[in-house]
Amino acid sequence: VSHDLRAPLTSVRLTLEMLAEGTYGQINERGKGLVGAGISSVEYLNSLVGNLLESEKVESGGIELHYHDTTVGALIEKAVS
């Protein structure tokens, strides 16, 4: 499933990156903004796919979790970094 989702996303990203680099000719500023937004969206989708795969590993027991006490401040600090 991972490959089936990531392969087309990679293809779309590469095409958008080539557009941004001017491989197919120059694009105007609005086009550059739209291409940049498209690249960001593809990156976000790739991140979601990764998160789904990690969730599946946790549910199936493929990842061992280690629990320990912490503070809210420590969690916020880690999230910000």
Averages of pLDDT over each 10 residues, the chain, 81 residues:
84 95 93 95 92 82 82 93 89
- pTM of the entire predicted model: 0.67
Cα first-last separation, the chain: 31
Q: What angle do CA 4, 8, 13 make, to 5 degrees?
A: 140
Q: Look at residues 57, 58, 51 and name the one whose alpha carbon lies nearest to residue 6.
A: 51
Rounded Cα distance, 15 and 70, in Å = 44
Rounded Cα distance, 18 and 25, in Å = 10
pLDDT at 35: 95
State the DSSP code for 65.
-
